[in-house]
């Protein structure tokens, strides 16, 4: 271990670190190197990387990958020093390449510490699941041995758990295959039939630049929920995922969980093309909460667009600006007509898909808006209690600016101010 640290420290002898006394021990040397690195300016590049980048820009060449390797070695050293200090950091061997890429892009120590804690929590959860699985396997093996001993002298066929059975085991892959190829009234898959003759719905996946890594991962989860909700519905949409950027985290996570996404027989429409290239502008309607036009009824001839964006960090009207720039019609759900909200009116992508599925089936807003989470809505009882509190608070309000009829001091002060204003 010390030899590895010494080799790691030798790599940075060519960098512009101040000289370190040779009398320091190995632990002090590692701590000093880590402290010098963390005291650098909080930028994504080291000083020598910046100079190399400027030279590369002047000469028209690309920056060598050795700089990222150096930074990775520094981060490995930082993780080891933090582990020796007793902090919660993950093992270097458990960090995946995409996580290393995210770590190299972080610009401050606090961001790295938070991400280390996040990776450590994931590692602890996996370790606990592994230990739980091993204990369960040991219990199953012990149970089987007891059953074998109990039935060793019995020559008859024994049915039951860990014995013979007349039922077949249904695997998760079979269940997925059933849902993807579920048949309706006609001898044709419901999803395939929707892709050929169903009502179109667009999910705009062009908001990766407005989200951080955590929000993009959350967006990918919501897109998977949308696919599951749509395929389990009796009359699903023909959903088009447009403006997909396969180099960003959202599509990488979606490809990770839906491996067969690019297979031609898989009922999933995804493309990097814009929806303005697939449908005429006259039919497109962008659903955004920032516009003033309420959606009064569902029109099956229109193509509704839902923005695939998780805006926890920023609530800017990006979708409104995009719809105005493209010259598209806009609409919002009439939430204020049916509910009184406690907090924000933002809904997730899967909640929007559920509402649109119900609108397509019944065209009833009261029934469709039942998919709005109850935690965001103020009920009738809560509204009544709130009104009573406001009335009680209004009784104790005092108007300090009002003049009492016999107050001569106020009248003198007002006349003095009036006279002063004339001069």
Domains along the sequence of the chain with CATH: 67-150 (no CATH), 192-376 (3.40.1280.30)
Q: Which alpha helices (H) appear in 167-298, and where do they start and end?
A: 172-180, 190-197, 213-232, 249-257, 275-278
- Which residue in this structure is represented by tokens 């407005």? 210
Question: Catalytic annotation on 67?
Answer: no
Helix (H, G, I), strand (E, B) or coil at 242: strand
Q: Are 330 and 323 in contact (CB under 8 A)?
A: yes
What pLDDT digit, counting tens, does each position of 180-198 carry?
766 655 545 777 788 888 8
Q: Of 67, 213, 311, 336, which one is the catalytic site residue?
A: 311
Give residue 262's pLDDT.
86
In degrees rounded to 5, what are phi and psi of residue 2? -65, -35
Lowest mean pLDDT among 155-164, 276-285, 401-410: 401-410
- Mean pLDDT throughout 112-140? 93
Give residue 339's pLDDT.
76
The predicted model scores a pTM of 0.62
Please, what is the average pLDDT of the chain? Answer: 77
What pLDDT digit, counting tens, does each position of 394-405 carry?
766 655 455 555
Give residue 35's pLDDT.
46
- Mean pLDDT throughout 342-359? 86
Q: Are 272 and 171 in contact (CB under 8 A)?
A: no
- Angle, CA of 127, 128 and 134, to the nearest 5°: 90
From the centroid of its chain, how far is CA 155?
58
Q: Which of 26-30, 106-110, 240-244, 292-296 ranks highest by mean pLDDT?
A: 240-244
- Mean pLDDT throughout 159-179? 77
* Band of residue 219 on the pLDDT scale cut at 50, 70, 90: very high
Give residue 29's pLDDT.
45
């Amino acid at each position: 271990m010390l030899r590895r640290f010494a080799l790691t420290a030798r790599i940075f002898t060519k960098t512009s670190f101040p000289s370190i006394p040779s009398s320091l021990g190995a632990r002090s040397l590692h701590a000093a190197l880590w402290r010098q690195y963390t005291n650098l300016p909080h930028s994504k590049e080291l000083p020598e990387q910046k100079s190399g980048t400027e030279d590369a820009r002047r000469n028209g060449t690309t920056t060598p990958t050795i700089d990222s390797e150096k930074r990775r070695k520094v981060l490995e050293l930082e993780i080891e020093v933090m582990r020796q200090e007793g902090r919660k950091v993950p093992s270097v061997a458990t960090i995946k390449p995409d996580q290393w890429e995210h770590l190299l892009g972080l610009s401050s120590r606090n961001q790295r510490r938070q991400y280390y804690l996040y990776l450590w929590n994931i590692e602890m959860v996996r370790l606990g699941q592994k230990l739980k699985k091993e204990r369960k396997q040991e219990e199953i093996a012990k149970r089987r041995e007891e059953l074998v001993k109990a039935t060793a002298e019995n020559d008859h066929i024994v049915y039951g758990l860990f014995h013979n059975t007349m039922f077949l085991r249904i695997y998760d892959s079979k269940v997925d295959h059933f849902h993807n190829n579920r048949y309706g009234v006609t001898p044709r898959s419901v999803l395939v039939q929707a892709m050929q003759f169903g009502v179109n719905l667009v999910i705009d996946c062009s908001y990766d630049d407005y989200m951080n890594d955590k929000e993009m991962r959350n967006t990918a989860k919501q897109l998977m929920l949308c696919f599951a909700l749509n395929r389990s519905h009796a009359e699903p949409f023909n959903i088009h995922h447009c403006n997909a950027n396969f180099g960003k985290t959202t599509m990488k996570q979606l490809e990770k969980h839906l491996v067969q996404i690019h297979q031609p027989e898989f009922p999933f429409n995804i493309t990097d093309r814009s929806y303005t290239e697939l449908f005429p502008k006259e039919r497109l309607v962008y659903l955004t909460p920032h516009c003033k036009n309420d959606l009064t009824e569902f029109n099956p001839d229109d193509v509704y667009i839902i923005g695939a964006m998780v805006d926890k960090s920023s609530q800017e009207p990006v979708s409104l600006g995009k719809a105005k720039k493209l010259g598209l019609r806009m609409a919002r759900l009439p939430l204020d007509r049916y509910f009184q909200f406690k907090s924000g009116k933002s809904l997730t992508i899967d909640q929007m898909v559920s509402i649109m599925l119900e609108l397509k089936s019944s065209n009833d807003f009261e029934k469709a808006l039942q998919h709005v989470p109850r935690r965001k809505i103020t009920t009738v009882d809560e509204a009544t209690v709130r009104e009573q509190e406001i009335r009680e608070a209004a009784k104790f309000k005092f108007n300090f600016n009002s003049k009492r009829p016999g107050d001569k001091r106020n009248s003198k002060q007002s006349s003095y101010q009036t006279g002063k204003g004339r001069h």
